């Protein structure tokens, strides 16, 4: 009996080892060396400056991943269900059905809304809520994870495709696709410039590790890009002597950078969706180990840890504001919509849109 149990145990162990070593997984990890995580040190020290934020109930809608102020002064936000909701004086109503998973949303000069839809590409929403597709493919290749957008002063729409390999829909969700792309670190992210008047599309940047937030300067001279998998924000020059070149504006961030939004007084806002993962950094230069980790049950693999952290910075990369919620009441903050009176904190999950009055800062 004991011999039979020992044999069964040995066989089971052999099966587990074989599984961990050889079972097919969708990622082919690429070796890289993650910068040393300095943690929440100056200028990112932990605090409770978001402690006074109050959640606006969204009447059952979830995941207000991005928000914008429309031409009518109302706030519009994207949601997990594919709806665009309208918010005014704390009242929430359905405005449009974009379908798929709308992420980034921007207000256009003509009063329409532009959406980066992770499942469907680039969309336009008219003032009456009518939705149309602007762009679903580039050079014959479908857009499989449109992420964030920004509109330049000349009407050019800049947008990111987080990953051209790990599609949001085929991976069963945007979050799931992000985990795969960041684990692989294969440089599948791209940044595009789309001109609606002509239909022309240019690839501005490629080989990015999870291309995420984008924001354009007021004068249209540069574009900012969050490269989530590399913990940094890039500055891509659109005009001038340095046109077409890229600087690293913020590097070795203490978390995963998400959406970028233009604020008031020339500042930019960035959400740090989650703190960095020690294991993921430690095995960054060990692709075989990362493949083994990918074979573990999902609950054992690296994932986002709840936190609430956003920052504001200027075009020189100087951090102007560093805001945390010590209790992480609104975890996985993706970014900030700044108005004259308040900060609206967008989130990947949750059924509320947090609002912080500026007088409470």
Q: Is the pTM value of this prediction over 0.85?
A: yes
Q: Residue 24's pLDDT band (boundaries 50, 70, 90)?
A: confident
| Whole-number pLDDT of residue 131 | 98
pLDDT of residue 15: 47
**Structure confidence at residue 19 as a pLDDT band (50, 70, 90):** very low
Q: What average pLDDT does the segment 304-332 reach? A: 96
Q: What is the mean pLDDT of residues 203-231?
A: 98
d(CA 101, CA 169): 9
Gyration radius of the chain's alpha carbons: 21
Average pLDDT over residues 200-222: 98
What is the residue-averaged pLDDT of the chain?
A: 94
How high is the pLDDT of residue 1?
A: 61
Q: Which of the four pLDDT bands, split at 50, 70 and 90, describes residue 22? A: low
For residue 201, list its beta bridge partners: 194
Residue 351 neighbours by CB under 8 Å, 6+ apart: 57, 58, 60, 61, 62
Q: Tens of pLDDT along 123-174?
A: 999 999 999 999 999 999 999 999 999 999 999 999 999 999 999 999 999 9
Q: Where are the domains of the chain?
A: 40-360
pLDDT of the residue at 7: 56
Measuring CA to CA, which residue among 152, 150, 115, 151 is closest to residue 135? 115
pLDDT of residue 335: 98
Instruction: Provide the pLDDT for residue 318.
Output: 98
What is the domain class of 40-360 according to CATH? Answer: mainly beta
Out of 105-119, 188-202, 295-309, pick the least confident.
295-309
Q: What is the mean pLDDT of residues 91-107?
A: 98
Residue that wins the pLDDT comparison between 87 and 15: 87
**pLDDT, tens digit, for every residue of 242-289?**
999 999 999 999 999 999 999 999 999 999 999 999 999 999 999 999
> Is residue 59 over pLDDT 70?
yes
The pLDDT-based confidence of 10 (bands split at 50, 70, 90) is low
Check if the beta carbon of residue 281 is closer than 8 Å to that of residue 34. Answer: yes
């Amino acid at each position: 009996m004991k011999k039979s149990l020992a044999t069964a145990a040995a066989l089971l162990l052999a099966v587990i080892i074989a599984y961990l070593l050889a079972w097919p997984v969708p990622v082919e990890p690429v070796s890289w060396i993650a910068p040393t995580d300095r943690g929440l040190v100056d200028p990112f020290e932990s605090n409770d400056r978001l402690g006074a934020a109050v959640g606006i109930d969204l009447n059952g809608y979830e995941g207000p991943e991005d928000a914008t102020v429309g031409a009518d002064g109302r706030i519009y936000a994207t949601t997990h269900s594919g709806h665009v909701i309208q918010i005014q004086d704390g009242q929430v109503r359905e405005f449009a059905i974009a379908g798929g998973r709308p992420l980034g949303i921007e207000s256009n000069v003509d009063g329409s809304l532009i959406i980066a839809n992770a499942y469907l590409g680039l969309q336009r929403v008219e003032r009456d809520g009518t939705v149309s597709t602007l762009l679903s493919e580039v050079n014959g290749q479908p857009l499989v994870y449109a992420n964030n957008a920004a509109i330049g002063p000349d009407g050019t729409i800049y947008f990111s495709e987080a990953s051209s390999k790990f599609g949001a829909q085929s991976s069963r969700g945007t979050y799931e696709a992000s985990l795969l792309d960041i684990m692989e670190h294969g440089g599948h992210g791209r940044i595009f410039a789309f001109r609606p008047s002509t239909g022309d599309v240019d690839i501005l940047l490629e080989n990015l590790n999870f291309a995420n937030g984008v924001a354009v300067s007021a004068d249209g001279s540069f574009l900012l890009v969050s490269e989530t998998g590399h913990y940094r924000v890039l500055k891509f020059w659109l005009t001038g002597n340095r046109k077409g070149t890229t600087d690293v504006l913020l590097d070795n961030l203490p978390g995963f950078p998400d959406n970028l939004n233009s604020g008031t007084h020339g500042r930019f806002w960035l959400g740090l969706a989650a703190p960095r993962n020690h294991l993921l950094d430690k095995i960054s230069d060990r692709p075989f180990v990362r493949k083994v980790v990918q074979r573990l049950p999902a609950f054992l693999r690296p994932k986002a840890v709840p936190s609430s952290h956003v920052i504001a910075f200027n075009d020189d990369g100087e951090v102007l504001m560093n805001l945390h919620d010590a209790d992480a009441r609104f975890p996985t903050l993706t970014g900030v919509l700044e108005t004259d009176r308040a900060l609206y904190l967008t989130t990947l999950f949750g059924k509320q849109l947090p609002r912080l009055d500026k007088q409470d800062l």
